[in-house]
Structures are given as C-alpha cells and as structure tokens.
Amino acid sequence: MPSPLTLADLRRYAVARSLFKPTTLGRAIDKLGFVQADPIRAPARAQDLTLRHRVLDYRAGDLERRYARLPIEEDFLVNYGFLPRAILALLHPRTPRRAWDTATRRRAQNVLAFIREHGPCHPRDVLAAFDHGRTTNYWGGESNATTHLLDGMHYRGLLRVVRRDAGVRVYAAVDHAGDDRSPSQKAEALLKLVVQKYAPLPSRSLGHLTSMLAGGAPQLRPELKRMLAHARETWPSAEVEGLRWYWAEGENPRSARHAPDDAVRLLAPFDPIVWDRLRFELLWQWVYRFEAYTPAPKRLRGYYALPLLWHDRVIGWANVAVRDGEVNAQAGYVAGKAPHDAGFRRGLADELQRMAVFLGLEG
C-alpha cells in the first residue's frame, strides 16, 4: 500500500509540473493554457516575467512583438491575459451578466461599423470620430466613455486585439468561429484547462476558480456549477492534512520526475506556481500578497515583490529594479536571513544574470 500523499509531495509536484522544459513561445502558451497580463513594469510586465522561465531565450517584450504572428489572443478567462486562439470557441459568443441599454448598443454598432470600414484602429482613431464623453469605470473612477466602450466590445466578442502600439491595444472587428460542443462539454473543457494550469488545487481554490471562470464565460455559469460538483466526485484527488486536493487526470503527484532542481528563480506575482494565495499559504506556510495597490506605509514585502523560489521552496521575495544599467534586487527572507549555503548564493547570482539578459542589459 503506498504511503499517504504529503504536502512535501504536493510542493514538488506543483513546482515541477509548472516549470516544464523551456520551449517556443507558442508552445509554452499552449502548455500553460493562459498567461495573466498586468501593465506594471517592475522590472517587466507580469506576462513577460512568467514566460521567461518557460520560453527559450525569452526577452522582455517578446510576447508583444510576436503576438500578431502567433495563434494567440488577448481575452478574459479567469482574468485578463493571453490564451491560445482555439480556446475562444469555449468563451464566445459571450453573454455578459449586465446587458447594454439601447443607447449603448447603438453607439457600439456605430463604432463597429467604423472599424469594419477603416480596418484595425488605435483608440485615438475612434476617439477622433466619436465623442461619447466620460463614464465611471470598473474601479469607480472616471475614464473616457469611448475607451470604456471599446473594452466592452472586446469583452463581448465584437472586437479582437490585433496588436499593441507602445502598449496600447489596436482593435479590429471579428466574427468568432462557432463550436459544436454542448454547454456542458464547454464547461468541462474550461474547468479542465484551469486545473491543468493551477494543479494541485485545494477544494476551496477549485471552487474559487470555477466562479472566476463564470466571468470569462458567464453564459456557462449553470453548467460550470454542475461540472464543479461532478469534478469533486470523480476527478483525481486525495485528502492531505484534512483538506481535499485535486489534480489533472493522468498525473501522479508522487512521481520521481518531480524532483526539484538547484536553480533559484524570481517569479511573477501571477506566476501559476504562486497565483493561488490559499494554496501558497498551505504549501509554503507564509502569507504572500501583491502590494502594488497597497498604500506604501502598509506594505510588508514591497511594491512589486517577486516570490523567491529555491528548489521546491518559496523562501522569500525580492523587489527588483534597474539602476545605472544594472539589476538591483532587494531581497527579504521568511527565516529573517538568506540561507547560509554557497549553492544558494551561486543560484541567486545566476538568476540575477538571467534577469539582466532578459531585460536586455547584457552589455
């Protein structure tokens, strides 16, 4: 009889399955299924910080530079990011929970006709043709109503992002391909996608991800709820220290191939290894929070603290900046000080050198 599954097994499994052998950009996004986006650069955007560990010779900005040539899209899954184009058929036609009023639908139809006539449009092109005033945005502040409308049209599947100019989305009209799968089959595929990305998952996190999927596919909300109940009954799982954990079909959390390597890695705040804060606390026994939007006096780790992974342990964090053409890292450690280990010191130096290459500071 095999020994019971332990948190140590789950830690090794969580790290090893996510840090697959680096590959091409397109294949890495296919394997990940979704890469969360964030506009803050500290020292690079979150999507670039995530991909640099999984793509051969990746440089900051490669995703934006190569986006138009790859079968990928910007869209909303559990949050906003980049995903393989094939997944869009599971999300569209999207039916938002809040319908537009008649006036907004009319404005959207006029903007869509303009973009169809003129081809891919920068928001300033649309703003030059339409003045819709100001509106309240998702965060309670004010933003340009036309920009807000473009966001809504993108979410509803009327527009796609064809590229970015200096970080700004350029939109084109789109007609999404149909999909013959039933709503239940789509819900099952979406739930398997997020489990494949974020496993192993405690039961509460699986439920939380399912509710977030209802933001990406609100029209599948009832089917997602039913599929969650089915998954909890039938998908691979085990109870570890009083909590039920789930993982992807066909995988073995105890596999010897999950042995950790010796590398030190600085992870993005939204890297799949650390994205689920509940799982993070269970596996590594300390609390990590993203504090960029926390008032400075209340921050514990720093503005954009990157979790610091060594072997299969997240032992601390670092705030990284470029100063005088060099990478500067201010690190903190859960134990209060850095490990007294020559291998760790070499590994951290190697990681900072990789970071410099990634940021284009080789010279």
Query: What gap in Å lies between CA 123 and CA 142, rounded to an integer?
Result: 17
**Whether pLDDT at 60 is above 50:** yes
pLDDT in tens, 121-172: 999 999 989 875 545 544 344 457 888 999 999 999 999 999 999 889 999 9
**Tokens encoding 69:** 């040539």
Taking only the tens place, the pLDDT of each residue in 290-319 is 999 999 999 999 999 999 999 999 999 999
pLDDT at 134: 47
Rounded to an integer, the average pLDDT of 1-13 is 90
Q: What one-letter code names the amino acid at 23? A: T
Give the model's pLDDT for residue 132: 53
Q: For residues 253-274, give the mean pLDDT.
A: 95
Express each pLDDT in 319-340 by its tens digit.
Answer: 999 999 999 999 999 999 999 9
Residues of the chain with pLDDT > 90, as a percent, come to 89
Give the pairing of strands 237-240 and 201-202: unpaired
Q: 102-173: which CATH number, 1.25.40, 1.10.1740, 1.10.10, 1.10.3470?
A: 1.10.10
Say what the pLDDT of residue 137 is: 47
pLDDT above 90 for 34: yes
For the chain, domain boundaries:
102-173, 256-358
CA distances from 355 to 27, 250, 264, 360 (A): 22, 34, 11, 9
Cα–Cα distance measured from residue 227 to residue 191, given in angstroms and rounded to the nearest whole number: 8
Q: 170, 123, 128: which is closest to 148 by C-alpha?
A: 123
**Straight-line distance from the first to the last Cα atom of the chain, in angstroms, rounded to the nearest whole number:** 56
59 phi/psi in degrees, rounded to 5? -125, 150
Whose tokens are 């970080």? That residue is: 167
